Structure 1
């Protein structure tokens, strides 16, 4: 099968398989705060690390949502690790609440103070990246037309790790059981790992 995205046969593919192909995608569970001090917590599956020196991350928002608006105001955010144990709470924070309503309260999540940035982290999450925004990019399509997609880039300025998941100086990713977004309503959980040594030449 081959198709052009805007011309797919909806009798064969009633649902766009794009997100099922670009999978699994890590979830950026983003805490942000506006200038008034209101808290927002929302999951974004278009999320990833983009550089290691310095540590840089990005997430993309389809629509100018509260996370983007709050980060534009204050320039800070936190990426919390979404895990299998927190899957229901993560899903609750995706609800379309009115601006200013705190998703942490809706999901029954306790906040924990960050060390460097003002937005709190999710206390129950085993890892969190405190970030300062470097830029926000409004996306365009190949014709140069505006797309209602906003990519937020940030530099990690602080890292929280629950010490229970450190073994001999190595973070045990599988023990934390992070979840990732796949296509449709599907998710995956990382609970086992395998290693491959990269070639040297």
Structure 2
């Protein structure tokens, strides 16, 4: 089939949500100017540069109490910092709890029963038991086409690695099995890994 997104697809569910997969999940922790902490997962997330290390995530909807966006973007606008936590398979239920449309005064760490820790380089919380956490300073918030679509870019200023995930000097994802989004209500877990050498190696 072929369809133009502007004209609709005629299917019961939007296929675009399931085409670009699997997508890593950025579990974004923020602290508002009022001192309230927030934690929410975003599957429009990725690393975008090595030097300096930079990441991005996109927020694509709004809450009625946040002036056209969500808590994460609103907090980052106010403070200029955030922390990306990597989601392991064992945390999928907690991650799902934090995806709820909770009022801004709700602390999702508490709601999901997650321990939090302070970041080292930014004034922001992080998920204490996460396999890795990336402390970030916001570099840009870009308003995208459409309603309530915002791209947040940040430079990584500090990195936490869980000790059991370091094996022979490498960050070993088989130790925690990263969770990824497939689209619709579907997720997947990274369990099988293989190595490929580039032609010039």
TM-score, normalized by length of structure 1?
A: 0.93
Which shows bigger deviation, 41-50 or 162-171? Answer: 162-171
**2:123 aligns with one of 118, 121, 125:** 118
Work out whether 1:53 is the aligned partner of 2:58.
Answer: no
Alpha-carbon deviation of 1:9? Answer: 4.3
Structure 2 partner of 1:109: 114
Total equivalences in the alignment? 194
Structure 1 partner of 2:194: 194
Change (3 A) 1:4 1:116: same
Alpha-carbon deviation of 1:104? Answer: 0.6
**1:69 aligns with one of 71, 74, 91:** 74
Matches within 5 A, 1:92-103: 92-103=97-108
Question: 1:157-183: per-residue Cα shift (whole Å, max 9, x none)?
Answer: 000001111111101112211101011
Question: 1:133-152: per-residue Cα shift (whole Å, max 9, x none)?
Answer: 00100012xxxxx5420000
Which residues of structure 1 form unaligned runs of 5+?
141-145
Instruction: Report the secondary structure of 1:70's partner residue.
Output: helix
Structure 2 partner of 1:37: 35
Structure 1 partner of 2:64: none
Query: 2:40, 2:99 within 8 Å by CA — same for their partners in 1?
Result: yes
Structure 2 partner of 1:25: 23
Structure 1 partner of 2:155: 155
Alignment partners' CA distance in 1, 2:34 and 2:119: 17
Alignment partners' CA distance in 1, 2:191 and 2:171: 13
Which runs of structure 1 show a deviation greater than 3 angstroms over 4 or more consecutive aligned residues? none
**2:135 aligns with one of 130, 134, 145:** 130
Instruction: Report the secondary structure of 2:164's partner residue.
Output: helix
Question: 1:10-63: per-residue Cα shift (whole Å, max 9, x none)?
Answer: 2xx210111211100000100001111110100000000000111000000013
Instruction: Report the secondary structure of 2:104's partner residue.
Output: coil
